[in-house]
Structure 1
Amino acid sequence: MRESIAMLAEHFGLQFHERRGGGYRVDTSCSPLGILIDDDGPNNSIFTYAHFRTRSADWAGERTDLNDSFSLLCTAFFQAMGFASCQILDIPNEFSMIPGELYARYLAFGDAHGSIFHKEKEAKRALVGIFSAYRQMEVMAHSWIPFWHAEELVNDCDMQGYGILNWAHAVSEALGSCGDFSNDLWTQRKSTDWRFYRTADGNISVVSCRPLFHALHKMTEAPRTILQGVTGSLFIDGPLGNYVGAPTIQHLDRLVKSLNAKAGITGSTEVDLIPVENNLIALSEPWIISMATNCSFRLFKEERLRILQRNKAESALLAPPGGFEWVEAIPDDRFEQLVHALLLEEAGVNRVYQVAPTRERDGGRDLIAEWVTPLLPSEHVKNDSTPARVRKVVVQCKVRKRSVGRRDLDQGVLDTLYMSRASGYFLAVSTQLSSSVTDLLDQIGGRGDYYINWWGRVEIEDRLRKNPDVLRRFNDIVQGGPETGIEEGGGSLP
């Protein structure tokens, strides 16, 4: 794999490095962003993610502002081009131990794109896409940001001047209960007209910098669909899907108005949004606001389900094309075997094993999967360590002719996790989940200490399209028609 990665990097004009702790880094000599590749993943796979850190040799002063804001630019670009919705993982400054200081960041590619790829099946194709996106991002940054690299400006970092102290105090007041002037961080870089504020908990940052604002605003001009949902809005960037709740949008509108009032800015308060997996970027000139909040593909799926339940006419936009035919009565054991087979095709899944015969309940567990996933919000991130871990994931399979409700979940999800000593829960259903179940899973997932995911029929059919060999093995319960593009053999369903 080493030679293949090195050759691909050279093809894109990138530099290839072997890392001291194992794995590889691909970057350009002048960029704070690099692509990290670990090639010893489970099931003959590689794990890919990005690492962002500016260098003290290039920039004066403490660099939390640069690590925060420049990494947002990279994240927004990957989102706008439909490449990946990133999960932002902060690496705290363990040297200073000052709350809020940012030593570096990992950008883990979210569910829609993925970070884990089979070496033989998809690694080369995935790396071509990653290296191409990285190269385009570097070209964009050089073209749109006059100070993308430190040698292009005079360094004049200021944290104690009268002007920046007044500005930071005004931002703190605008943030209300979210701000704490005595503990939060701020920086000014005069030659770039750059002012930055970050709360000590790292949940909110505010930047005033017109060149950076205009570069980020260009990302919102890329083709995308914004759909008003039931509880919030869906943002569709090519193959990517993200969700922003209505209360979050209202909170940002109020914050922008408060910032404008403190700064004496009048006129329009229009706010443009760029959601990624666990962060929301809000733009209202001259403000750039970053807020840690769940905008994930998982919440996108939940809201999509609510919309489909509300209005079937919208399914043409939101749901993948149909064309599969299922038997009316799906045997429990065959559905479980189908889920087992599809899980083994998921990158990052090391192995899957059955806990007990399908008809014999075992504490709500049907299958156990050893699964590599990115770190959860509650898990500590360290520099030079892979932002992923192997999890024991409980898998439940449910066959119903109706939506699966909470009463179908046996003894309860948290009890199942506790009894199984597992760190993840996965639910696969033959139809769809009820809103009560998606709300429950969202609540548990929102705690940040368990990996939570699920498949309904839509997600299962997505994977059957990608794995026609699995479809052929289970043509006694499901077959693909002409619309799927994989109709082959098997005759008609009984």
Structure 2
Amino acid sequence: MFHMYQGNILGAVSYCPDDFSFDSPELSVWVDKIRDFIGEDESYVANIRMNPDWLFFRSFSGEFSVFKSTHISGLLKEIAAKNDTAETIIGVTSNVEIINDIRTTISFKDEEFAKDLLVELGDASDLKVISQENQLLFISNHHVVIKYTNCGLESVAEEKELIRLRQQKEISLLFGDQKFEWNIIDRQASGEFEDLILELLDREPWVFSVKKVAPTNQGDNGRDLICEYNMLHHENRVSKGAESIKLGKMIIQCKTNLKHSKTTSIGKSGVDMPSTLFDYRPDGYMLVVNTQTTRDLTEMLERQRDRKEQNAILWWNAFDVEDRLRKYPDILARYRHIVDYA
């Protein structure tokens, strides 16, 4: 279709000769404005063409191109407007654009560059942006600026991390004093609590891998999760990538109180830690609950830790879990059916 109608698309007609030149007064004035904007030392090529009618400039060192063609820019702008189905997330250094599950970024810096360049060329009309894997098209009424840049998967991943860090700060400032409400109503929800803890542990700097032992409907013999961890982490003072690493195996037990239960805490009778330690002899043990541990259970955990038979005895109560959910809003979003802000 393009080959059949390229003349109409580009604004060319068959009955006029092709006039192509690297030098003309109009081109020189236009190029001088661009060079004044970007600097005199740019490595570039420029030309003027009649039929189709355009001015073209490409900077090799600046990694961008710009051409002036009211016909082509008007056509591209109209197509972009008719197909504008993108969902846009305002990021930290870029907007993330999502079209049919295809994700790209539009850099604020690149967009500002295009706007300033077009103002220098006397074109302050509104811009439409088309983002592709390795370039951005900024389309005004008379010009198209093409910025060659990585705006694909790698750029999206970097921007997602910046957004996550921003969300952590926002949530800390806006919701730091807001309480959570747990909605664990049955065994299936308890199994999803294990999945939630798996994801939170996977974000811990001292955990190298974590796996679920068995599906919710199968017995796990007291082992809900198993993880490989750094036995030398010492309260997180050594993190992933550090030289002081010694791998160990940790067993994690997850215990929940159902929403309508009369009890508000987990006690010794609900935890089979001694038999689990005896049967599997892990390097570390961890208990995670969605409420609080009773005094007797806390004392039992402390006594086992003081015996130093294991490298680590850890436990998280609801406060510890909720504190981490504030830091990782992406994880919270996936489990809002079992826990959310009250």
TM-score category (smaller protein): 0.3 to 0.5
Please give the TM-score of this superposition, normalised by the length of structure 2. Answer: 0.47
Rg comparison, structure with higher value? 2
TM-score (norm: length of structure 1)? 0.34
